[in-house]
Structure 1
Amino acid sequence: MATPYRLVMTTCSTQTQARDIARHLVTNKQAACVNILPSVESIYMWQGEVTQDNEYKLMVKTHIDFVTAVMETIHRLHPYDVPEIQVIEVCAGSRDYFNWIDEVLN
């Protein structure tokens, strides 16, 4: 069962960057809520070398109608050359929570 709700994920290298993006998304009603998870260890290939960093993971709760705006905001505000942006379709969940998302974003 598909829903119109989406979870958008990204990472930031500092808590300040993560908070700035999260506050912008919520203030501008592009997201109902953003969770910031601290101390995510990332190991990845960058410019031909294995890189290891501690990052902050953002989990953005939004509606399909705002996904493009969320992605554009992340690209505009993010300091990385290639920020992680992954959009996950929410298949099911609490109707009360979905109603709250709708209320916040309208």
Structure 2
Amino acid sequence: MTTPYRLVMTTCGTHAQAQDIARQLVANKQAACVNILPNVESIYVWQGEVTQDSEYKLMIKTHVDLVEAVMETIHRLHQYDVPEIQVIEVCAGSRDYFNWIDEVLN
């Protein structure tokens, strides 16, 4: 079973940028809610080197019909050349919460 709801995740290097992206998404009704998780330690390869950074993880709650707009907003506002964007299908959850998402995004 699946729902029309999606969880989009990205990371940002600064809290200010994470807040800016989150506020834009919510203000533009592209997301009902964005959680910003601090102190995410990321280890990855960039330009051939193993890199380690402290980042902020955004968990963006949205509707399948808005995913493309969410990704465009992230790309437009993000400081990284290649921002992480992952979209996760929500297979089940609280009907009351889903109703709230629908209300906020409509």
* TM-score range normalised by the length of the shorter chain: over 0.9
Give the superposition deviation at 1:75. Answer: 0.3
1:1-106 aligned at under 5 Å gives the runs 1-106=1-106
**Residue-by-residue CA offset, 1:25-82 (whole Å, 9 max, x unaligned):** 0000000000000000000000000000000000000000100000000000000000
1:91 counterpart letter in structure 2: C
- Aligned-residue CA RMSD (Å): 0.2
Distance in 2, matches of 1:75 and 1:14, equals: 16
TM-score by length of 1: 1.00
Length, aligned pairs only: 106
Identity of aligned residues (%): 86
TM-score when scaled to structure 2? 1.00
Moved over 6 A (4+): none
- Tell me, which stretches of 5 or more residues in structure 1 are unaligned? none
